[in-house]
Amino acid sequence: MTFAQFQTLIEDIYGAKDHARPVGVNLAWLVEEVGELSRALRRGDREAMAEEFADVAAWLTTIATQCGIQMEDAIQKYARGCPKCASIPCQCADQSRAC
């Protein structure tokens, strides 16, 4: 499944409910799911990790849709490598990902 297909699927499944809430409420749900992902990562629970990665992706996609952003377009930021140095792998002197 592509990002575009996933975004359409999430919109088809949850769009009416998601759009009825303010973006800030959906963002709070995303943050909660990131917390659950963090817990699964700390515990090393691979099954829970997979579930939480999916939930994080779904909520992120929901917010993008609500803001009129197509994820397929948004991820193009990284299509040519690091947005700062344009290298694959990143060759930036600063090892953080704060590009």
pLDDT tens per residue, range 13-55:
999 999 999 999 999 999 999 999 999 999 999 999 999 999 9
Q: pLDDT band at 79, cuts 50/70/90?
A: very high
Q: Nearest-CA neighbor of 14 among 2, 4, 26?
A: 26
**Domain-wise residue ranges, the chain:** 3-78
Tell me if the pTM is above 0.85: yes
- As assigned by CATH, the class of the 3-78 domain is mainly alpha
Q: pLDDT band at 94, cuts 50/70/90?
A: confident
Structure-derived torsion over alpha carbons of residues 94, 38, 77, 92, reported in degrees to the nearest 10:
10
Q: pLDDT band at 99, cuts 50/70/90?
A: very low
Asked if residue 64 lies in contact with residue 6, where contact means CB atoms within 8 angstroms, the answer is no
Q: In the chain, where do the E strands start and end?
A: none
